[in-house]
Amino acid sequence: MEDKPIVECTGVKFSYPGRQEAALNGVDFCVRRGEFVSIIGHNGSGKSTLARLINGLLVADSGTVNVMGLDVSDDKNAVEVRRHVGMVFQNPDNQMVASIVEDDVAFGPENLGVEREEIGRRIDWALNAVGMEKYRLSTPTRLSGGQKQRIAVAGVLAIKPDILILDESTAMLDPKGRREVIDVVRRLNREEGMTIILITHFMEEALLADRTIVMNRGEIALSGAPEEIFESGDALETFNLSLPRISVICRNLRAAGMDIKDVLRPEELAEEIIKNMNNRGIYAGQSPSFAAKEGLAGGEWDIDIKDLSFVYSKKSPFATKALDGVTLHISEGEFFGIIGHTGSGKSTLVQHLNALIKLPQAQKHFHKKKAKKGRPAPIYPSIKIGKYDLADKKCDFKSLRADVGMVFQYPEYQLFAETVFDDVAFGLKNFNKKLPPEEIERAVKDSLEVVGLDYAELKDKSPFDLSGGQKRRVAIAGVIVTRPDILILDEPAAGLDPKGKREIMELLHKLHREWCKTVIIVSHDMDEIADNCTMAAVISEGKVFACDIPAKLFSRESELLALGLDVPLTEKISSCLKKGGFIVNSDCTVSDFSDKVAGIYTGVGNA
């Protein structure tokens, strides 16, 4: 690694028009050639702004940004800077510009005036680097999220950058897609010597870097080796971040009297635990067994889905089967999780639950087909939710949508009205046109306060002038204003910093305790499912692979990994301990796992 910085920022300040607080406030920052730097920080801390300044998408108000000795603020250097700096954004769909993969990868070098023969060689090299060479002639829209993101990385690699910046590039991906992209990035850093700047909210990704930078309110708060940063512990909490789960477990076990070093990998922690057990005279096979919690019995708001299939673009060359005979029961009172790889059918499934996608029988022109001679009668899907039969044309779908609320992924994209009040009130007015103004006002006020927002302060503001976290809360308020008995959320915490994720999940549990009968979340985060859900279903290739309590579901580690999924950190550690002869039957949460291990160590286990 060379000593001379390849990126150098000195006294950089930047403010967005109309915002009082500076996005960056005197940042001094440098990166050396071949370095792998991770940047973490709360939403709005300035991470993405810094990235955009480095590749010239933004220009600093004051201070200097130099890349490869070039002043980024000089318009004459714009093209040359972008030859050196490639940037991959969060959503790969926003970066796709062509209908064929090879054309998409060629777009960057073509715009830089690279000769045709050289472009061909770069396409070969870039696709090979990300393991996507066999998809060269594919249509990007038909690829999975992880595949699209690898194509996005290939498109940036084709310009042969010296520096690769990834701005939350794995936030929308399933576990397999996230592993694929990170593996590509690590290989490029190790084998090609490419300089990497990784902006992430995943603490486990930050641990992979040579150096981690913590940003807070537009300033660099901490900088150092990942191990040093995460040893700072409580300091991270003050920056709206959190320790990696493995560091929390280490702390918990030390508090229980165990001599546990700070480690960063599950197998290392398992070794530490086994060493402590052996030193205390506890050996393999002496672990107590603990009973796992079971699911709920159910009630009048149970959800019953039978034989649900769905094909997109039916009877066209692009026909895609999204669901294939799904049968699933969700009991009233559950905090239910739905997990699956990208394209597994999760979102299609939940969109059926409030009839955004209607069953065939509920379609206006549906006529039941007669069974053909010698063939079985056609099977029609059914969905029953409480008093609603979604297969019935006469079903009151308007009332259903008031009782079954749906919050989409990145719900802030649902905002549309001129004021926060109008946005939150829209659904309520639509479902009940005769509701008096004073009742609408009271309901909007209550909803905003439930999600932790000040009604008087925000009701007349434009929702587009709010912070990212506030926008998400306003969007959720617009759904819960009708007080739905069932609330469905598709990736509710995606893209949020650790504090934001924690607050959203605490909000959902509050709603669940107080009045919402059932909460259903779709998530790619296995730890999120383990921490919050009473039951969970795995969807794979449009079918229900399994449905069980998280503890039992995640005990099937090898099967889940084969489906492109993952398991919680606690299950990874448990798996390593099991190989050493110690069985820890926890509910997969960090607190319960820590308690169970400490119970074995002290001989107190609570069966």
Q: What span, in angstroms and rounded, lies between the C-alpha atoms of 55 and 68?
A: 11
When mean pLDDT is compared across 1-5, 266-270, 479-483, the lowest value belongs to 1-5
Asked if residue 394 belongs to a domain, the reply is: yes
**48 and 33 part of one domain:** yes
**318 and 403 part of one domain:** yes
**156 and 219 part of one domain:** yes
pLDDT surpasses 70 at 288:
no
Of 207, 223, 238, the one marking the end of a domain is 238
Q: Find the angle CA(279)-CA(281)-CA(287) to the nearest 5 degrees.
A: 110
Average pLDDT over residues 504-519: 94
**165 and 230 part of one domain:** yes
When mean pLDDT is compared across 174-178, 180-184, 417-421, 448-452, the lowest value belongs to 174-178
Query: Could you tell me if 85 and 67 are in contact, meaning their C-beta atoms sit under 8 angstroms apart?
Result: yes
Query: Could you tell me if 192 and 181 are in contact, meaning their C-beta atoms sit under 8 angstroms apart?
Result: no
Q: Residue by residue, what is the 3-state secondary structure of 29-72?
A: EEEECCCEEEEEECCCCCHHHHHHHHCCCCCCCEEEEEECCEEC
**475 and 399 part of one domain:** yes
Q: pLDDT category, 263, cuts 50, 70, 90?
A: confident
pLDDT surpasses 90 at 290:
no
Q: What span, in angstroms and rounded, lies between the C-alpha atoms of 477 and 357?
A: 23
Asked if residue 441 belongs to a domain, the reply is: yes
Which residues are CB-contacts of 190 (< 8 A; sequence separation ≥ 6)?
none
Beta bridge partners of 335: 519
Among the listed residues 182, 126, 192, 116, the one whose alpha carbon sits nearest the alpha carbon of residue 156: 126
**138 and 251 part of one domain:** no
The predicted pLDDT at position 397 comes to 95
Instruction: Considering only CA atoms, give the Rg of the chain.
Output: 26
Of 132 and 289, the structure prediction assigns the larger pLDDT to 132
Which residues are CB-contacts of 561 (< 8 A; sequence separation ≥ 6)?
567
> What is the value of pTM for the model shown?
0.86
End-to-end CA distance of the chain: give it in Å, rounded.
Answer: 54
**387 and 461 part of one domain:** yes
The predicted pLDDT at position 317 comes to 80
pLDDT surpasses 60 at 445:
yes
Asked if residue 431 belongs to a domain, the reply is: yes
Kindly provide the b/e burial profile for residues 379-413, where b requires at least 16 CB atoms within 10 angstroms of the residue's own CB. ebbbbebbebbbbeeebebeebbbbbbbbbebbbe
The predicted pLDDT at position 173 comes to 78
The predicted pLDDT at position 606 comes to 42
**464 and 597 part of one domain:** no
Domain that holds residue 402: 303-359+379-548
The predicted pLDDT at position 410 comes to 74
Q: pLDDT category, 2, cuts 50, 70, 90?
A: low
pLDDT surpasses 90 at 383:
yes
Q: What span, in angstroms and rounded, lies between the C-alpha atoms of 464 and 423?
A: 11
Q: Find the angle CA(559)-CA(544)-CA(327) to the nearest 5 degrees.
A: 155
Asked if residue 558 belongs to a domain, the reply is: no
pLDDT surpasses 90 at 480:
yes
The predicted pLDDT at position 605 comes to 53
pLDDT surpasses 60 at 569:
yes
Q: How many domains does the chain have?
A: 3
Residue type, position 555, single letter: S
Q: pLDDT category, 406, cuts 50, 70, 90?
A: very high
The predicted pLDDT at position 140 comes to 87
pLDDT surpasses 70 at 295:
no
**414 and 339 part of one domain:** yes
**162 and 30 part of one domain:** yes
DSSP state of 173: S
The predicted pLDDT at position 603 comes to 83
User: How does the average pLDDT of the chain come out, rounded?
Assistant: 89
Q: What are phi and psi of 302, to 5 degrees?
A: -60, 150
Of 138 and 485, the structure prediction assigns the larger pLDDT to 485
Asked if residue 114 belongs to a domain, the reply is: yes
The predicted pLDDT at position 607 comes to 34
Q: What span, in angstroms and rounded, lies between the C-alpha atoms of 562 and 10?
A: 47
pLDDT surpasses 80 at 298:
no
Average pLDDT over residues 559-578: 94
The predicted pLDDT at position 502 comes to 87
Q: What span, in angstroms and rounded, lies between the C-alpha atoms of 506 and 503?
A: 5
Residue the block writes with tokens 């790969």: 92
Of 461 and 141, the structure prediction assigns the larger pLDDT to 461
What proportion of the chain, given as a percentage, has pLDDT over 70?
A: 96
pLDDT surpasses 70 at 294:
no
| Helix (H) or strand (E) run with residue 124 in it | helix 116-129
pLDDT tens-place string over residues 228-245: 888 766 778 788 888 888
Asked if residue 140 belongs to a domain, the reply is: yes
Q: What span, in angstroms and rounded, lies between the C-alpha atoms of 38 and 288?
A: 41
pLDDT surpasses 60 at 287:
no
DSSP state of 565: -
Asked if residue 270 belongs to a domain, the reply is: yes
CATH of the domain at 91: 3.40.50.300
The predicted pLDDT at position 233 comes to 66
pLDDT tens-place string over residues 449-475: 999 899 999 999 999 888 777 888 899
Asked if residue 352 belongs to a domain, the reply is: yes
What proportion of the chain, given as a percentage, has pLDDT over 90?
A: 62
pLDDT surpasses 60 at 292:
no
Among the listed residues 311, 405, 410, the one whose alpha carbon sits nearest the alpha carbon of residue 353: 405
**402 and 310 part of one domain:** yes
The predicted pLDDT at position 370 comes to 75
Among the listed residues 335, 349, 395, 364, the one whose alpha carbon sits nearest the alpha carbon of residue 521: 335
Q: What span, in angstroms and rounded, lies between the C-alpha atoms of 208 and 205?
A: 6
Between the alpha carbon of residue 34 and those of residues 5, 65, 106, the distances in Å are 10, 19, 25
Which residues are CB-contacts of 115 (< 8 A; sequence separation ≥ 6)?
none
The tokens for 73 are 């603020």
The predicted pLDDT at position 566 comes to 93
Average pLDDT over residues 157-170: 91
Q: pLDDT category, 1, cuts 50, 70, 90?
A: low
Average pLDDT over residues 52-80: 93
pLDDT surpasses 50 at 439:
yes
**250 and 233 part of one domain:** no
